[in-house]
Amino acid sequence: MIMVTGASGQLASLTLQQLSDRRLPAVGGSRTPADGQRHLDFDDPGGLDLTGVSTLVLVSAGYAEDDQVIARHRALLDAAVRDGVVSVIYTSVTSAGDHLGFALAHRATEELVRASGLGWTILRNGLYAELFASLLTWTPEGLESALGDGAVSAVARADLAAAAAVVASRPAVHAGRTYDLVGTPITAGDVAARLDVTHRSFGLGAYRARLLADRTLLPFQPPMLVSIATAARHGFLSSSSPDLADLLDRPSVESLVVAANTVAAMRPSGR
C-alpha cells in the first residue's frame, strides 16, 4: 500500500487523486484525517504507525522552523524503517533553490532519506505556479510585486502530483534517482501581459516591511517569502530540466496559464 503524508494539503490530495485514477491502493496520512485516512502526527513520534505501508510519499512538513521540520521528517523516517516500509519518495525543492530560506530543511531531509536504508527517490519540485501567482498583488493600476524582471521555472501543482504518482506506482524503477521537476520560466511581467495589465516592481525592503506588518503571518514566513523574491529577482530560480516531461510522458502544463488564471481569480471586483 502507498501512503501519502499531509493528506489535507493541496499537493498530497492531488497525488492521492492521481493514485486513485490509476487504481492503486493508497491512503492519506494526516494530523486531521478525513474519512478513510490514517491519523499521522509528526509531532507524536510514539504514535506514528506505518504498518502495512510499502511505499511512503513524504510530502514535506515544511510549515515550521527548520529544526522542527527536520525533527518531524526524522521521526517519520525512523517509523518507516521500524514498520517495514520499502520505499520513500520525498518531495523536496528544486536544485536551483539552494538560496531559498527554506532549502536547508529540504537538503537535510534528503540526507536523512539517503541514509535511511530504504529505497528512495527525491523529487526536487520547482516553485508552484500557484504560489508564484500569490506573490503578485492587485492595485488600482494593475499588478505589483517584488519579483522584478526575474524569471521563475514555475510548475503546476497538478503536474507535480502526477509525477509523484508515476514514481509511487513503480518505486523500484525510480530508486536512487533525484529528479528536478521544473517548468518553463515565467516572469511577473509575462503574467501581467497575459492579463493585459501593467506590472510594477518595488524593492525588497518595502516588501519585507509589508510582510512584517502582516499579523496573519508566522515569524518564519516573512524571511521565507523575501528569499523567494530575491532569488527570483536576481535570476536564481530560472532553470531547465527534461525530468518532468519524461516522467509524465507528455509536455508539462503551461505554468504561465496556471499563474495567470490564479492571479485573475484573485482580482478584486471592479478592477
pLDDT of 159 reads: 98
Domain that holds residue 132: 2-266
Helix intervals (H) in the chain: 10-21, 66-82, 103-115, 129-134, 157-169, 188-194, 204-212, 221-233, 243-248, 255-266
Question: Domain tally for the chain?
Answer: 1
CATH number where 94 lies: 3.40.50.720
Whole-angstrom distance, CA of residue 204 vs CA of residue 233: 9
pLDDT of 62 reads: 74
pLDDT of 271 higher than 60: no
* C-alpha triplet 71, 132, 205: angle, nearest 5°: 85
Cβ partners under 8 Å of residue 76, min gap 6: 5, 40, 42, 48, 50, 56, 58
Whole-angstrom distance, CA of residue 168 vs CA of residue 252: 19
**Using one digit for the tens of pLDDT, what is the confidence trace for 138-195?**
999 999 999 999 999 999 999 999 999 999 999 999 999 999 999 999 999 999 999 9
Please indicate, yes or no, if residue 217 is contained in any of the structural domains.
Answer: yes
Please indicate, yes or no, if residue 131 is contained in any of the structural domains.
Answer: yes
Residue 4 bridge partners (DSSP): 28, 57
Please indicate, yes or no, if residue 247 is contained in any of the structural domains.
Answer: yes
Cβ partners under 8 Å of residue 122, min gap 6: 89, 90, 92, 110, 113, 177, 178, 179
pLDDT of 15 higher than 60: yes
**Using one digit for the tens of pLDDT, what is the confidence trace for 50-107?**
999 999 999 998 788 999 999 999 999 999 999 999 999 999 999 999 999 999 999 9
Instruction: Please check whether residue 163 is in contact with residue 123, taking contact to mean a CB–CB distance below 8 angstroms.
Output: yes
pTM, two decimals, is 0.95
pLDDT of 270 higher than 70: no
Mean pLDDT over 108-124 rounds to: 98
pLDDT of 266 reads: 94
Helix (H/G/I), strand (E/B), else coil: 97: helix
pLDDT of 64 reads: 87
Please indicate, yes or no, if residue 271 is contained in any of the structural domains.
Answer: no
Q: Report the mean per-residue pLDDT for the chain.
A: 95
